[in-house]
């Protein structure tokens, strides 16, 4: 029978439900630390197949050992997200990692306009990533330029939105921050909140969708909540929490 530590070195795929404020690197590093500690290994390959922003939760696919060679194959699979877009205000990073910088009128926004705008996103299109993103420009991450206050031109990327379901809701945005390190005051309570489910191709920035949605309805928009629910065949309901992971080891 193969020793447990050899299974991780040969290759395993772990599905993890990323907590709020954790980075994808934090998740992969936690798994690497647990494996090395449990089996007294000096080194083990561990990597994740697709980054999630700190303020997003949901599915992270983590590969160990020789299965890290499958990361690129998993990353190109279609993805499903759910969350909330808030119309009526913008932030510099298109989500709540930074505070609102400008507010806009919302009186003209109707359910019909919301549905029509969502439909306008369906299909293949060009999208520009947020400046506060991990997209590489001349060997550096875009957010590195942003932190230094440097302007950089981001090239558009071809994406496809396959499904985009929306509905206006009275969403308690503040609740997502109750047990986190994020200042609850950053949650924007005004505006029109849109609950959504979106299925899209690799490289789609949901924060940019939120920004562009605001523009298309003649207002401003930002992402208030985001959860990744699927990557290809892998689903978040089959994933482990960090507590589950610790108990597993």
Which residues are designated catalytic?
53
Could you identify the residue written with the tokens 């957010």? 143
Contact status, residue 65 vs residue 3, Cβ threshold 8 Å: no
Could you identify the residue written with the tokens 């193969």? 2
As given in the structure block, the two tokens for residue 68 are 């890290």
As given in the structure block, the two tokens for residue 136 are 């590489």
Contact status, residue 199 vs residue 210, Cβ threshold 8 Å: no
d(Cα 94, Cα 83) in Å, to the nearest integer? Answer: 14
Q: Is 14 exposed, middle or buried (0-12, 13-18, 19+ CB in 10 A)?
A: buried
As given in the structure block, the two tokens for residue 103 are 């507010």
């Amino acid at each position: 029978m193969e020793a447990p530590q050899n299974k991780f070195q040969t290759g395993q795929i772990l599905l993890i439900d990323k907590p709020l404020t954790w980075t994808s690197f934090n998740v992969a590093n936690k798994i690497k630390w647990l494996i090395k500690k449990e089996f007294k290994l000096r080194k083990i390959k561990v990597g994740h197949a697709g980054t999630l922003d700190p303020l997003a939760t949901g599915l992270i696919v983590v590969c160990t050992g020789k299965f890290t060679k499958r990361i690129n194959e998993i990353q190109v699979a279609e993805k499903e997200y759910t969350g909330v877009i808030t119309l009526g205000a913008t932030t510099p990073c298109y989500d709540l990692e930074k505070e609102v910088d400008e507010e806009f009128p919302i009186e003209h926004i109707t359910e019909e306009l919301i549905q029509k705008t969502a439909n306008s996103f369906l299909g293949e299109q060009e999208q520009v990533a947020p400046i506060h993103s991990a997209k590489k420009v001349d060997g550096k991450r875009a957010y590195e330029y942003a932190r230094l206050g440097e302007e950089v031109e981001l090239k558009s990327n071809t994406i496809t939105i396959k499904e985009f379901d929306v509905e206006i809701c009275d969403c308690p945005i503040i609740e997502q921050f109750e047990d986190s390190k994020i200042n609850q005051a950053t949650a924007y309570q005004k505006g029109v909140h849109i609950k959504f489910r979106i299925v899209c191709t690799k490289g789609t920035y949901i924060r940019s969708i939120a920004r562009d949605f605001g523009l298309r309805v003649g207002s401003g928009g930002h992402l208030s909540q985001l959860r990744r629910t699927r990557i290809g065949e892998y689903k978040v309901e089959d994933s482990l929490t960090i507590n589950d992971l610790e108990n597993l080891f």
